[in-house]
Amino acid sequence: MHDYHIHTSLCKHAEGDINDYIESAMDKGITEICFTDHIPLPDGFDSEHRMSQKEFRIYLDKLETARLKYRQMTILTGIEADYIEGYENYLRDFLSNYTFDLVILSVHFIKKWTDKQWVFSYEYTDRTLMGQYKDYFDVLVKGIQTGLFDVVGHLDIIKRPNRPVLRSNSREVERVLNAVAKAGMCIELNTSGLRKHVKQLYPHMDIVEMAVEKGIPLVLASDAHRPDEVGDFFDDVLNELFQYPNLKLAQYRGRTYTTRTMGQPADE
């Protein structure tokens, strides 16, 4: 079992050092983890919630040290990279300058919205909710089409409680999934939504089902910001996933993946 979305205290809003997360993973029987702390951005953008360039190099060093210390754990190097319109060249340079196992595409900010308003902040812009959902998915499609990323992070993080995105914006969701399939990317099954007010997976299982039908592989992701959150709710989620015999889980190495099929042969 793997967990492919883990933060560390280097991003300034998570608790615990790399070693604390590794030990928590070992306690939970997870054998492969990918650290994906928040990428440094230019112009000091949102610098209070992410690594600086200097901290990013410390992050790489710490991962290297941890690999030597915890040989029984597979420790992958990842990054949660924000897609923000206008930063494509910066991202292309940054991502090509280092060696990663996996790069998560996350849309946390919409450029045309109020500056630095997180998409999940629940502060409403002057757009209708359906319009906000549309803005978000439009930016997500653009991000996917850049070809810069591997895995779509928390795909429907824009959703508000009791306002399912598929009810109002199924067409945009369909576009996102088609773009993912075309790009050969994977999507996360991110359990952090279960810890939040919305109390749902990112994305909703209905969207997971659509992804499975399109042959899109999944990865498991806790989005842990505290060591005890590693592998959060994975047992429940895995039980649900067994319902989908065609569901593929991806395993990443050096930004490429292999898949294995989740389902067991049906009893006959």
Write out the residues near Fe ion by the rule CB under 5 A. 80, 106, 223
Which tokens is 70 given? 């915890």
Distance CA 42, CA 185 (A): 26
Closer residue to Zn ion (CB): 70 or 118: 118
Q: How far is the CB of 44 from Fe ion (least distance, A)?
A: 19
Count of positions (residues) in the chain: 268
With respect to Fe ion, which residue has the nearer C-beta, 80 or 232? 80
CA distance 134 to 173: 9
Q: Which two tokens stand for residue 90?
A: 């910066």
Q: Which residue reads 């209708």 in tokens?
A: 128
Supply the minimum distance, in Å, between the C-beta of residue 131 and Fe ion.
22
Q: How far is the CB of 118 from Fe ion (least distance, A)?
A: 9
Nearest-angstrom CA–CA distance, 22 and 227? 8
Residues 6+ apart with CB under 8 A from 135: 110, 112, 113, 127
Query: Which one of Fe ion, Zn ion, none interacts with residue 169, CB within 5 to 8 A by kind?
Result: none
With binding defined as CB under 5 A, does residue 188 bind Zn ion? no
CB of 79 to Fe ion, least distance (A): 10
156 counts as binding Zn ion under rule CB under 5 A:
no
Contact status: 55 vs Zn ion (CB under 5 A):
no
Q: Binding to Zn ion by residue 223, rule CB under 5 A?
A: yes
Residue 118 in contact with residue 92, Cβ under 8 Å?
no
Contact residues toward Zn ion (CB under 5 A) are: 223
